[in-house]
């Protein structure tokens, strides 16, 4: 394979530098006879979608060919690293394809019967069996386990937690002992203190976060992936929930507070990352929309960009553009820190050292 040469301002820094790509890796010393493919502009570590679902479509599970097409859509938008936050199909064959984004799998959602979307997760009938289910998914995934922390309880007519605090603490310890991290879907307020106090590593959505829980997350370093473009669906969910007026009103209120919640989390120092919740009701390839939404919610533009690039990569165990790092990067003509709309038109997309766009 021909070595590649790129020159540009290497973000998040401000210095113009030369980079070379050999065998899918970044080199910072000259490589003879390299082909110059970028000369000027800005070089950015590839986008990260920290919450997506390769393998889920609007009607539920999809076949592997459709899942591959979803990953291609993400790649073509510049998303080169995906944290697949729960999938009902085995997507490990997609990890072997050099033309698709890198995928960090979280196994399957762990829920309780009739307390999540059908056909997507594993139903745990006896809540005391949660630690065993977590151990199974920790072994199956790539270092992440996905819990459903709350969902509508139809008897109550509103959101309610799925798990007791003590079983959560045991289950999360099981994951940590196995070297895995745990994240949870959670919309409302009630489930959050138990999840955070049990040592969960990340909260997905988090619309019910209060100032006290935010402060505890900041103290512990618990991450938040708010999926703001998915939260935009809450009013529609509320409008359709006519049988459950308390739930409908709750979802509408959570939507109204979402921007302020993210702003408070950022100000408190909670690590916040960009995730679209692609799959199901959200189309793949929308990471720039999520980065922009984080900025609108109060994140400075450069911090929002990092939440969908270098900061998220570091959180998931991948480096930026430095000696020996994976050659997964984007090139832009203009500085995206000054205008996030620049992110919609990368001049080059390089994945595993290969030009793919």
Q: 310 and 342: one domain? A: no
Share above pLDDT 70 across residues of the chain, in percent, rounded to a whole number:
100
Regarding whether 90 and 32 lie in a shared domain, the answer is no
Using DSSP, state whether 59 is helix, strand or coil: coil
CA 48 – CA 138 distance, rounded (Å)? 22
Residues 238 and 258 in one domain: yes
pTM listed for this prediction? 0.97
| Residues 32 and 70 placed together within one structural domain of the fold | no
Residue 303 shares a structural domain with residue 346: no
Cα distance between residue 46 and residue 4, in whole Å: 17
Nearby residues of 322 by Cβ (< 8 Å), 6 or more positions away: 26, 28
* pLDDT tens-place string over residues 159-198: 999 999 999 999 999 999 999 999 999 999 999 999 999 9
Q: Inter-axis angle of helices 165-177 and 130-140, to 10 degrees?
A: 30
Residue 25 pLDDT > 80: yes
Model confidence at 280: pLDDT above 90: no
Question: Cα(305)–Cα(299) distance, rounded to whole angstroms?
Answer: 9
pLDDT tens-digit series, residues 196-231: 999 999 999 999 999 999 999 999 999 999 999 999
Domain count, the chain: 2
Evaluated on CA atoms 84, 88, 94, 99, the torsion sign reads negative
Q: 219 is written with which tokens? A: 């103290």
| Statement to judge: residues 285 and 324 lie in one domain | no
SS3 91: coil
Looking at every residue in the chain, the average pLDDT score rounds to 97
Check whether residue 151 and residue 228 sit in a common domain.
yes
CATH number of the domain that 326 lies in?
Answer: 2.30.40.10
Q: Quick one: pLDDT at residue 2? A: 86
By DSSP bridging, strand 102-105 and strand 110-111 are unpaired
Q: How far apart are the C-alpha atoms of 226 and 356, rounded to whole Å?
A: 29
Distance between CA atoms of 238 and 241, rounded to whole angstroms? 5
Cα separation, 289 vs 296, in Å, equals: 10
Residues 86 and 19 in one domain: no
Scan for tokens 């209120």, then name that residue: 253
Containing H/E element for 140?
helix 130-140
Domain that holds residue 334: 4-44+318-355
């Amino acid at each position: 394979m021909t070595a590649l040469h790129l020159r540009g301002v290497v973000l998040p820094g401000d210095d113009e530098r030369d980079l070379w790509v050999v065998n899918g890796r970044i080199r910072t010393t000259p490589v003879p006879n390299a082909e110059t493919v970028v000369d000027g502009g800005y070089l950015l570590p590839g986008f990260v979608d920290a919450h997506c679902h390769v393998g889920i479509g609007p009607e539920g599970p999809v076949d592997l060919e459709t899942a591959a097409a979803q990953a291609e859509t993400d790649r073509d938008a510049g998303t080169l690293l995906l944290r697949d936050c729960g999938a009902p199909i085995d997507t490990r064959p997609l990890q072997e394809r050099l033309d698709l984004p890198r995928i960090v799998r979280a196994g399957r959602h762990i829920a309780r019967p009739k307390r999540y979307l059908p056909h997507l997760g594993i139903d745990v009938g006896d809540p005391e069996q949660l630690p065993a289910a977590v151990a199974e998914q920790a072994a199956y995934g790539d270092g992440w386990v996905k819990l459903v922390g709350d969902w509508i309880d139809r008897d109550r007519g509103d959101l309610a937690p799925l798990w007791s605090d003590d079983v959560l603490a045991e289950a999360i310890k099981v994951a940590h002992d196995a070297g895995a991290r745990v994240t949870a879907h959670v919309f409302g307020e009630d489930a959050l203190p138990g999840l955070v106090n049990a040592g969960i590593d990340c909260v997905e959505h988090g619309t019910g976060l209060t100032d006290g829980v935010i402060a505890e997350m900041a103290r512990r370093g618990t991450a938040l992936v708010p999926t703001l473009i998915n939260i935009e669906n809450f009013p529609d969910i509320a409008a359709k929930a006519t049988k459950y007026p308390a739930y409908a009103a709750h979802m509408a209120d959570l939507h109204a507070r979402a921007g302020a919640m993210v702003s408070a989390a950022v100000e408190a120092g909670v690590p916040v990352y960009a995730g679209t919740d692609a799959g199901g009701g959200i189309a793949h390839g929308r990471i720039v929309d999520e980065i922009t939404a984080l900025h609108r919610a109060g994140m400075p533009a450069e911090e929002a960009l990092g939440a969908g690039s270098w900061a998220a990569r570091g959180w998931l165990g991948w480096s930026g553009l430095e000696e020996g790092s994976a050659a997964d990067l984007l090139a832009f003509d203009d500085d995206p820190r000054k205008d996030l709309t620049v992110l919609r038109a990368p001049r080059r997309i390089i994945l595993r050292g290969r030009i793919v766009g």
